[in-house]
Amino acid sequence: MDDLIKTQRNPAHQMTERGRAIEEESFRVVDEEAGPHSFSELEWPIVRRMIHATADFEYKELTRFSPKAVEAGLKALMAGARILVDARMIACGLNPERLRLFGNEVVELLSHPEVVERAKATGGTRAEAAVRYAEERGLLEGAIVGVGNAPTFLLALVEAVRRGAQPALVLGMPVGFVNVLEAKRALMEAPVPWIVTEGRKGGSTLVVAALHALLRLAADGGVDTSKAYRGG
C-alpha cells in the first residue's frame, strides 16, 4: 500500500530505472547547455521541460511569466481545478496518473456539438464559440487554460477576462502567423496570471510540457526536486 501511495504522489515512480536515468540525464544536459538564467526556482522547471520537449533552447529567451503565475497555477491544480484546452492534442498528451492525483479534469470543447453549431450560426471560429460556451457555463472560473493552437481562442479568452471571467492561470502559447502576436500581447496586458511564449513560436507540445511541469511541481508540493536550480 505504501508503494501504491508513493506512485500516486509522484508519477515518476512509474518509470523504469532506465527511463528515469534517461530523463535525468536529459535534464542535466538542458541545465548545462542553458547556463545561467533569470528564472525563479519555480519558473525554471517549466522552461526546462519545454526545452526538453522540443530540443529548442530559444524558449529560454521567449518564455515570460507574470508575477506569481506559477504559484497561482499550483494552488489551482492542488485544489482540483479543471484544465481547459484549445486542442484535443493537448488533452491526449496529458498523463492520466498525474491528473488523477488532484482530480484535475481536462475539458476540450471545440468538437462539442453545441460549439460547432454556434460557430456555423455566427460565422465565427469554433475556438471563439468554445470560449463563449465555457464562459456562459462558468467553466473558466478558477481553471487552468492552455492555448497552444488557436490565437482566436486566446483573443476570445482575453475578452472574456475583460468581461469578468477569472481563470487561475492562462498558458498562452499558440503557434502561427495570423493574430498570434496580437493575441499574446493582449494576454500579457490582461488582468490574469499568465505564461507566454513570445513571438510566433508555440504549439500544443509546449502546453503539454508546461502542464506536466506544473503537475510535477504540484505533486512535489511546489518544490523542484528534479535537478539543480541555476538562476543567474
Q: Which residues are catalytic?
A: 52
**Cβ contacts of 195 within 8 Å, gap of 6 or more:** 46, 63, 64, 65, 66, 69, 70, 73, 169, 170, 171, 172, 173, 210
- Cα separation, 202 vs 70, whole angstroms: 19
Nearest of 96, 102, 126 to residue 114 by alpha carbon: 126
Half-sphere exposure of 101 (CA within 13 A, CB side): 26
Instruction: Name the DSSP class of 37.
Output: B
Here the cell at position 193 is 496570471
Q: Is 199 left (phi over 0), alpha (psi -120 to 50) or beta?
A: left
Q: Could you tell me which residues come within 8 angstroms of residue 5 by beta carbon, excluding any fewer than 6 positions away?
A: none
Beta strands in the chain (DSSP E): 63-65, 83-85, 106-108, 144-147, 169-172, 194-197
Contact 144, 159 (CB under 8 A): no
